[in-house]
Chain A
Amino acid sequence: MSNTVTVETSKKSLWGGGRSPFSISYGKLMMWIFLLSDAFTFSSLLISYGFVRYSFPKSPPNEIVQPFTHVEENFVEQMQQQGLFSSEHWPLPELVFNHFPFIHGLNLPLMFVSLMTFILIFSSVTMVLAVEAGHRMAKKEVAFYMLLTIFGGAAFLGCQAWEWAQFITAGASLEGNPFGPTAFAALFFIVTGFHGSHVFSGVILNIVIYLNVLKGTYDKRGHYEMVEKVGLYWHFVDLVWVFVFTFYYLV
């Protein structure tokens, strides 16, 4: 261990060269900058969503929806007849996302997507616990939490696949959409798909890191910084989901 670093470094010396002004390694700095640029990519997609949506008339108020508990076979047609689903305006999210796997016919608005959100937040927690264990060089704990994170990511991807399947079975595609304007479905597929591909690559990275932890690569290296870097990416994916959730399911 290096002991020389205990000298209190003044601001002047921080920027004086020969060291990192942020006291982080270049790898972590590069990851931060990459995440910044990736945030701009997601922003550009969400801004496009905002633009397209805002150029349409407002959604109908949800007071006019009659309360109901059961989702009939011809639910979409019913809604179209009532004028709640129309290509003229954006649909109400509670009417579009009201299914839950293995529970047929019940109206459970936004329940499934809440579950997905919890899964992703939880996998973020296990990730940060893995990072914390890495600081203590506790190899077994890191491996355990990494495994949980991988499971969380995989579960999220599975949920998203089910949600897509549900959406596609109802007739939504890039070219048409029974719920409302075509752009609603197309942007849903593109933004959640782009986010999903990030989750997917995150899971792959996590698996690689997990195997390396088991192999003891980072023990030999003397620090678990790689876990931290991938952790940053994983939390970023979680962060993006917060906004996707806000803009697609709530607003």
Chain B
Amino acid sequence: MSTHTKHNDGHGHHKETFLTKYIFSQDHKMISKQFLITGIIMGTIGMLMSMLFRLQLAYPDTKFPFLESLIGQWGEGGKLSPDFYLALITIHGTIMVFFVLTAGLSGTFSNLLIPLQCGARDMASPFLNMLSYWFFFVSSCVLIFSLFVDGGPASAGWTVYPPLSALPKAIPGSGTGMTLWLVSMILFIFSALLAGINYVATILNMRTLGMKMTRMPLTIWAFMFTAILGILSFPVLFGGSLLLVFDRSFGTSFYLNEIPADLAGGIERVGGSPILFQHLFWFLGHPEVYIILLPALGITSEVIATNSRKPIFGYRSMIGSLMAIALLSFIVWGHHMFVTGMNPFLGSVFMLGTLIIAVPSAVKTFNYLATLWKGNLQLTPAMMFAIGLVSFFISGGLTGLFLGNAALDINLHDTYFVVAHFHIVMGSAAIFGMMSGIYHWFPKMFGRKMNESLGQIHFWFTIISAYLVFFPMHFMGLAGVPRRYYTNTAYEPFAAFVDMNEFITMAALLGGAAQLIFLFNFFYSIFKGKKSEQNPWQSNTLEWTTPVKHLHGNWPGEIPHVYRWPYDYSKPGHTEDFLPQNIPDEGQLDPLVDLEIVPSTEFEKK
């Protein structure tokens, strides 16, 4: 690259080349930008895929000539092929769940905020942090590459249940595409583990003086629980994937039973059970839902408190409910498996745990609403998206109570009711949290602000279209329309829903168009946005005490000490309506003396 020397003018004393500054950077702020931009690109791909299969669902009999030029053999004659339809929903799910909402959301904001809000120069191990990004990047490349292999990408659904995923001859997508899916997932697990270990070590070990655990912003608490969930649950998926690889390629039968030799590569497969895979998968799969949601909830807490100019309501109960959700998420995974032939006794065990999750979730919702109550609301785009998250969290959470009930789930399982439920509570809510975070911390990341009016337009179009897409699905699901079907017109009772499908697709296209506004706003603002001041939202947390221009090591001088919790907004007796964490009260002791803390050199060496 010719820009090699151009960036050498650097402000620091260490020499940086283009390669070490922008590509193999070990600076957490740059890594977070890398995560964000990769996540946005993957999100756009996933969204375009959903547009394609929505088109098929709305117009099962119409031909779209542009499909043939777009996806070649999969859209012959302008009609989406059934195999590719299955592939699209699989890859859409995988990309959205893992690459956008896990890496793109928690990766971006954990990287950006953990060192900045805890008051650390960088992550505990910047090198492993960089490695985590590159594992993620390679893993997304492998998944994209699998779109182009013979037989198409994996098509067994994002949950890749055997036998569809275990027998290479089961469906076209079970061949090379499935193998690449597994490779991609194993790389992703490495990335998630490296990142998670780093996050937890940084939060516990590298907080600045005075940053007690109970003075940490709720974002950091949420990121910590997210990281712990990832550390404990991803290894189990690794074990499960390993056995699946052996079933696929080396003739074992852990997940297979009663499969004759001619279907299974010449060896009769007996003695295994697909239920085993489902248990291993959902031991990750359910905590994964919270890995997606908790960072969004943390971001929302911060954004709502800042923009209501009020202390967050129930700080400790917020932490407690985060902890309760994290704990419970490990003992409820079976509610995804009520109708798979699992032991019905276990069904009742899982049902109990599942319904208990409603309690901490309700605590969180109540606290959000109580924080908003009588606040001096600043309706910035970030705030709008945060309120949107609360709305989705409520409306999606309520349907969760239906689905968590083992008896009701027999009717609702694998219908559009489930699709509606998780797209609202996990998909839309988490995306809204991510958007809220992007609008809020964009000035911190790029030193410029995003356009506010475009942000408002983006918000209103997105929330309206999201509700228009997912709300009608509840009724389709109650009527029994199954998910993952290529076409509904082939079944007499479901043919009546074509109108509704058309309506949903229209709304989805509207929502997709709204994201174009966001993409334009995002990339335009990186280069041409209004320059931001140091603390544009008048927020209390430590990241706003760093200079706008990024420094390696975050603070030019000493790291600020912390004297208060992060939610001192509108404190009586002060002229300003916010009190940053690094401002002491009159007469308040320095934490050095106050807490008898002995400074250690170890944290300064970075």
Residue on B nearest A49 in the bound complex, by CB: B254
Encode B223-259 as 1/0 by CB contact (under 8 A) with A. 0000000011111101110110010001111100000
Q: Are B239 and A41 within 8 A (Cβ)?
A: yes
Q: Are B276 and A18 within 8 A (Cβ)?
A: no
CB proximity of A113 to chain B, nearest CB, Å: 23
Residue on B nearest A39 in the bound complex, by CB: B235
CA distance A2 to B599 in the complex (A): 11
Encode A111-154 as 1/0 by CB contact (under 8 A) with B. 00000000000000000000000000000000000000000000
Q: Are B252 and A30 within 8 A (Cβ)?
A: no
CA distance A25 to B603 in the complex (A): 10
What B residues does A181 contact at CB under 8 A? 271
List 7 contacting pairs A-B, 8 Å CB cutoff, sorted by A. Answer: A2-B601, A17-B562, A18-B597, A51-B276, A52-B254, A55-B271, A183-B252
What B residues does A36 contact at CB under 8 A? 231-232
Besides A87-B271, A182-B271, 4 new A-B residue pairs in contact (Cβ under 8 A), listed by A number: A16-B597, A17-B597, A48-B254, A186-B254
CA distance A169 to B271 in the complex (A): 23
B516 at the interface (CB under 8 A from A): no
B521 at the interface (CB under 8 A from A): no
B140 at the interface (CB under 8 A from A): no
Q: Are B201 and A30 within 8 A (Cβ)?
A: yes
CA distance A121 to B148 in the complex (A): 50
CB proximity of B245 to chain A, nearest CB, Å: 10
Encode B300-320 as 1/0 by CB contact (under 8 A) with A. 000000000000000000000
Q: Are A18 and B254 within 8 A (Cβ)?
A: no
Q: Are A183 and B197 within 8 A (Cβ)?
A: no
Count contacts on A: residues with CB < 8 A to the other chain: 49
Q: A26-B124, A29-B204, A174-B252 are in contact. Are A37 and B597 (CB under 8 A)?
A: no
Q: Are B271 and A26 within 8 A (Cβ)?
A: no
Which of A15, A20, A30, A174 is the one whose CB lies under 8 Å from B197?
Answer: A30
Which residues in chain B, 188-215, are within 8 Å of chain A measured between CB atoms? Answer: 193, 196-198, 200-202, 204-213, 215
Q: A26-B124, A30-B198 are in contact. Are A10 and B254 (CB under 8 A)?
A: no
Which of A12, A17, A47, A183 is the one whose CB lies under 8 Å from B209?
Answer: A17
Residues of B within 8 A of A (CB): 119, 124-125, 128, 193, 196-198, 200-202, 204-213, 215, 231-236, 238-240, 242-243, 246, 250-254, 267, 270-273, 276, 279-280, 283, 562, 591, 595-603
What A residues does B562 contact at CB under 8 A? 17
A7 at the interface (CB under 8 A from B): yes
> Which 5 residue pairs of A and B lie closest in terms of their CB atoms, listed nearest first?
A44-B239, A18-B209, A17-B211, A175-B251, A17-B207
CB proximity of A128 to chain B, nearest CB, Å: 24
Q: Are A33 and B197 within 8 A (Cβ)?
A: yes
What A residues does B252 contact at CB under 8 A? 174-175, 182-183, 186, 190
Q: Are B591 and A19 within 8 A (Cβ)?
A: no
Q: Are A182 and B253 within 8 A (Cβ)?
A: yes
CA distance A19 to B598 in the complex (A): 8
A66 at the interface (CB under 8 A from B): no
What A residues does B283 contact at CB under 8 A? 44
A81 at the interface (CB under 8 A from B): no
What A residues does B210 contact at CB under 8 A? 16-18
Residue on A nearest B198 in the bound complex, by CB: A30
Encode A1-12 as 1/0 by CB contact (under 8 A) with B. 010110101101
Q: A15-B212, A44-B239 are in contact. Are A37 and B271 (CB under 8 A)?
A: no
CB proximity of A44 to chain B, nearest CB, Å: 3
What B residues does A56 contact at CB under 8 A? 271
CB proximity of A86 to chain B, nearest CB, Å: 12
Which of A12, A26, A51 is the one whose CB lies under 8 Å from B273?
Answer: A51
Q: Are A19 and B597 within 8 A (Cβ)?
A: yes
Which of A30, A43, A44, A47 is the one whose CB lies under 8 Å from B125?
Answer: A30
